[in-house]
Amino acid sequence: MNEDTPGAGGGAGPGTVRPGGRTARVREAVLRAAGDALVERGFGGVDLAEVARRAGVGKTTVYRRWGTVPVLVADMLAEMAESSQPRADTGSLDGDLAALAGLILGTLTDERQGPLFKAVIATATGDGPTAEALHRFYRVRITEWAPCVDLAVERGEIPAGTDPAEVIRSLSAPLYYRLLASGDPLDAAAAKRAAAATAVAARAGVFVSAA
Partner DNA sequence: ACGCAAACGGAACTCAAGTTCCCTTAACTC
Partner DNA sequence: GAGTTAAGGGAACTTGAGTTCCGTTTGCGT
DSSP letter string over 32-71? HHHHHHHHHH-TTS--HHHHHHHHTS-HHHHHHHT-SHHH
Burial-class residue 190 by CB neighbours within 10 Å (0-12, 13-18, 19+).
middle
20 binding partner (options a second copy, DNA, none; Cβ < 5 to 8 Å by kind): DNA
First to last CA, the chain: 48
Instruction: Work out whether 24 is an interface residue with a second copy (CB under 8 A).
Output: no
**Cα torsion 144, 146, 150, 153: sign:** positive
Classify residue 109 as exposed, middle or buried by CB count within 10 Å of its CB (0-12, 13-18, 19+). Answer: middle
Q: Are 187 and 193 in contact (CB under 8 A)?
A: no
Among a second copy, DNA, none, what does residue 149 contact (CB within 5–8 Å per kind)? none
For the segment 179-208, give every residue that binds a second copy (CB under 8 A): 180-184, 193, 196-198, 200-201, 204, 206-207
Measured from the CB atom, is 60 or 209 closer to DNA? 60
- Contact status, residue 97 vs residue 105, Cβ threshold 8 Å: no
Looking at 3, 17, 86, 183, which residue binds DNA (CB under 7 A)?
17
Stretch that binds a second copy, among 1-9, 56-64, 82-90, 178-186 (CB under 8 A): 178-186
Amino acid in position 80: M
Question: CB of residue 20 vs a second copy: minimum separation in angstroms?
Answer: 33
Does residue 125 belong to the site contacting a second copy (CB under 8 A)? Answer: yes
Minimum gap (Å) between residue 173 Cβ and a second copy:
4
d(CA 136, CA 75): 12
- Of the candidates 6, 67, 129, 164, which one interacts with DNA according to CB under 7 A? 67
Q: How far is the CB of 71 from a second copy (least distance, A)?
A: 13
In the bound state with DNA, the residue whose beta carbon lies nearer, of 33 and 195, is: 33
Residue 126 interacts with a second copy (CB under 8 A)? yes
56 binding a second copy? (CB under 8 A): no
- Alpha-carbon torsion 59, 60, 61, 64, what sign? positive
Residues in contact with a second copy by CB under 8 A are 41-45, 69, 118-119, 121-127, 131-132, 134-135, 138-139, 142, 165-166, 169-170, 172-174, 176-178, 180-184, 193, 196-198, 200-201, 204, 206-207
